Amino acid sequence: MAQAAAKITKDMTFLEMLRTYPETAKVLKKYNLACAGCMGAQSEPIDLGAINHGLDPEQLLADLNAAVK
C-alpha cells in the first residue's frame, strides 16, 4: 500500500504552513514554538527552524503532517 504524500514539506516557511493549515499551530505550541508571532516565520523554512531550535526536523514534520490528515 502506498503512503500518502506529505502535505507539509521541509522547505515550506512557517508562515506559509500556518496560513494553509492553521491547525498546525497546536503542534507548534506543543514544541514551544511561537512561530505565529516571529518575524522569522515569514522566511524561515521548517527544517531550518527546527534545527535552530534544537528539534529533530523529521519528527516535527511528521507531527505537523499528522495534524493535517
- Span 5-32, average pLDDT: 91
Residue-averaged pLDDT of the chain: 87
The answer for residues whose C-beta is within 8 angstroms of residue 49's C-beta and 6 or more apart is 14, 33, 35, 40, 41
Q: Is residue 4 part of a domain?
A: no
Q: Is residue 38 part of a domain?
A: yes
Closest by CA position to 13, among listed 64, 66, 63: 64
Q: Is residue 6 part of a domain?
A: no
- Span 5-29, average pLDDT: 91
Q: What is the DSSP letter of 45?
A: B
Q: Is residue 26 part of a domain?
A: yes
Domain of residue 35, residue span: 14-67
Neighbouring CB atoms inside 10 A of 41's CB total 20
- Span 44-64, average pLDDT: 94
Q: Is residue 7 part of a domain?
A: no
Residue 27 reports pLDDT greater than 50: yes
Q: pTM for the whole thing? A: 0.85
Q: Where are the beta strands (DSSP E) in the chain?
A: none
Instruction: Determine the pLDDT at residue 3.
Output: 52
Q: Is residue 46 part of a domain?
A: yes
Indicate which CATH number applies to the domain containing 52: 1.10.3910.10
Domains: count for the chain? 1
Q: Is residue 35 part of a domain?
A: yes
